[in-house]
A and B are shown apart, each in its own frame.
Chain A
C-alpha cells in the first residue's frame, strides 16, 4: 500500500508545472519633492513668530528624492511675507535659514558646506542619488517691541528642484 501511495505522489509531483512570472519595472530619472512636515510657527514673544523648536515651533521639512546623480539643484526659498495675516501696521523683519537635516548616503555629507545662499534662497547641488531632508528655521519679528495682533498667520516656503 505504501509503495502505491509513493508512486501516486511521485506522479503528481511530476505533473506540477513551474511557470516563471516576469515582473518588470522602469525607474525613470526624476526628482521628487515630498513635504514631510509643513511646519508651525511658535509665538515665544508677543512680537515674534518662529519655527524654532526652542520657540515652541515645528521646523518645516522637505525631502528631495533623486534617482540620477549630479542632475539637479535644490533651491529652497524662505518666506519674506505672510500669505495671510491680520492687518499689520508695522514693518516685519524676516529671517530664514535652511540646513540639511538628514541624508540617505554618506556621500551627501558635503552638501551643507557647499550650499550657496543669496537673499532668502539657499541652493544645494544634488550630486549624489538618494534622499536628502532639508529643514528651515523661519522667524518673523514685528516692529520694535510691538506685539503681533491676534489672528491666524501663515507663510509659504518654496522648494524647487531644477534640472541641471
Chain B
C-alpha cells in the first residue's frame, strides 16, 4: 500500500471514530427501583426520596405519578408533579403519601413529556416505574 492509501485509511478511521463519539444517546433514568418509605415530619404521612436523571436532550419535562396495582392513580405530594429538567441534570425529590394510601400504592412512575412541536415524524416517550414493595 502506498502513502496516499495509508493517509486515506487513517482519514476514514478518524471519520468513523468521530461518528461513534458524537452519537447523541438520549436516556431517561429513575432510581431507586424499590423505594423504601419512612415516617415524615407530619404524622400519618410517609415519605421517600427519588432521583431522576435526564440524559434526553429532546426532553425538558418529566411527570411524576403514583399508581396502584391496577394502574389507577393514587394521591401523593411532590414539590412539582411536572418537573423541568435541563439536559444532563439530576434531580432528587421527596415524595409524600398518606399512610392509608401507601398500602394501595404499587408504582411510582416518571414519564417524559414531549413538546408537540418538537416531535418530528415519530417521537419516543419513555416511562420508568419503580415498585413499592
Contacts and interface: CB of A to CB of B under 8 A. Distances in A.
Interface of A: 28-36, 38-41, 51, 60, 62, 65, 68, 71-72, 79, 83-84, 138, 152-164
Interface of B: 25-34, 55-56, 58, 107, 114, 116-117, 119-131
Nearest to A40: B121
A71 B33 contact: yes
A152 B30 CA distance: 33
Nearest to A156: B123
Q: Give the 10 A-B residue pairs with the shortest CB-CB distance, closest first.
A: A39-B122, A163-B131, A34-B27, A33-B126, A160-B127, A154-B119, A35-B124, A40-B121, A156-B123, A35-B26
Dominant SS among interface residues on chain A: strand
B121 A41 contact: yes
Given A30-B33, A33-B27, A38 B120 contact: yes
Contact of B125 (A152, A158, A161): A158
B122 A41 contact: yes
9 contacts: A29-B32, A35-B124, A35-B126, A38-B58, A38-B120, A38-B123, A68-B33, A83-B119, A155-B119
